[in-house]
Every structure is written in structure tokens, then in C-alpha cells.
Amino acid sequence: MALNQETILSDDAFLVSETDAKGMIRFANKEFCNIAEYSLEELMGKNHNIVRHKDMPKAAFKDLWDTVKSGKVWQGYVKNGTKSGGFYWVFATKNEKNEQCYLSCRRKPSREDVLKYGDLYKTMQ
Ligand SMILES: Cc1cc2nc3c(=O)[nH]c(=O)nc-3n(C[C@H](O)[C@H](O)[C@H](O)COP(=O)(O)O)c2cc1C
């Protein structure tokens, strides 16, 4: 996959990952690994920011963490980076599974929303 190239999720994609209380990855399903281009072994125990893309504003992650820590469900659009320097957009739902871990499920966002949030995130820090 070339640098800065977008991977578009399939319509029925469902990418799952689980972290501990600090955001260290405890599990990722095959689809998550395939799209992010990492093996499960490479992801296990790593900070979830391993897939962070530089275009994502800090404020989005603050909102995410404040929300899940307070026991609520967070939903939002996230641009993630792949191992080879590409990217992929997801519509993510994250929630507290229990006090020790968090769960995230991701689906394909509409093109309209990708463009909308891509523009919005450029205006945020
Ligand atoms: C369950 C869960 C899933 C997460 N998934 C992602 C993700 O897909 N991409 C991402 O950039 N950050 C994700 N995060 C947020 C990261 O933990 C991290 O806060 C973010 O990448 C920003 O990096 P930083 O905190 O080092 O600034 C997730 C956090 C949790 C709790």
C-alpha cells in the first residue's frame, strides 16, 4: 500500500479492538489487523495510538476518553493510519466494558461524512 493511500472499508466491515484502562491493546479482530496492516502479535500490549493519524485533532481523543471514563458510550468519526503510511476512515463506537477495559467497534462511514469530518478536523486542534 502506497504512502497516503486510502483504504476504504467494505460495506459490511466490522473492526473490533479492546484495550485496558490505559488504552493498551488487549485484543483486535482479524479485520482490524488486516485493515491496519498489523498482526495481532504486533498490536498486543501496544498503546492504541499506534494507529493514530496525524490529521486527528487532540480534542477528539480528549472527548473520547472523558466520555468512556465517565461510563458513557462515545461515537465518532476517526481517521486512522495504517502501518505502511496509508489511512482509513471509520465510524467508531467505544464504550466501557468494565472498569478494566474498553471496547471499540468500527463500521464504514458514508463518503459524505468522511468529507464533512475531514474538513471539520482541519479546523480543530
Ligand atoms: C477502546 C479504544 C479504542 C481506541 N481506538 C482508537 C483508534 O482506532 N484510533 C486512534 O487514533 N485512537 C484510538 N483510541 C484512542 C487512543 O487511546 C489515544 O488516546 C489516541 O490515539 C491519541 O493518542 P495520544 O493519547 O497518545 O495523544 C482508542 C481508545 C480506546 C479506549
pLDDT at 3 (0 to 100): 83
Task: Tell me how many domains the chain contains.
Answer: 1
Q: Is residue 6 part of a domain?
A: no
Confidence of residue 1 (pLDDT cuts 50, 70, 90): low
The predicted model gives 50-58 an average pLDDT of 98
Which of the two residues, 97 and 37, has the higher pLDDT score?
Answer: 37
Burial letters 31-50, b for 16+ CB under 10 A, else e: bbbebbbbeeeebeeeebee
Q: Which of 37, 48, 82, 99 to mutate to test the pocket of ligand 1 (most atoms within 8 A of CB)?
A: 48
* Residue indicated by cell numbers 482509513: 88
Cα 107 to ligand 1 centre (Å): 16
Strand order in the sheet with 87-98: 25-28, 15-20, 101-107, 87-98, 74-81
CATH number where 37 lies: 3.30.450.20
Burial of 100 (0-12, 13-18, 19+ CB in 10 A): exposed
**Cell representation of residue 108:** 464504514
Ligand 1 atom nearest residue 102's Cα: 1
Cα 23 to ligand 1 centre (Å): 7
Range of the domain at 63: 15-122
Tens digits of residue pLDDT in 63-117: 999 999 999 999 999 999 999 999 999 999 999 878 789 999 999 999 999 999 9
Q: Is residue 9 part of a domain?
A: no
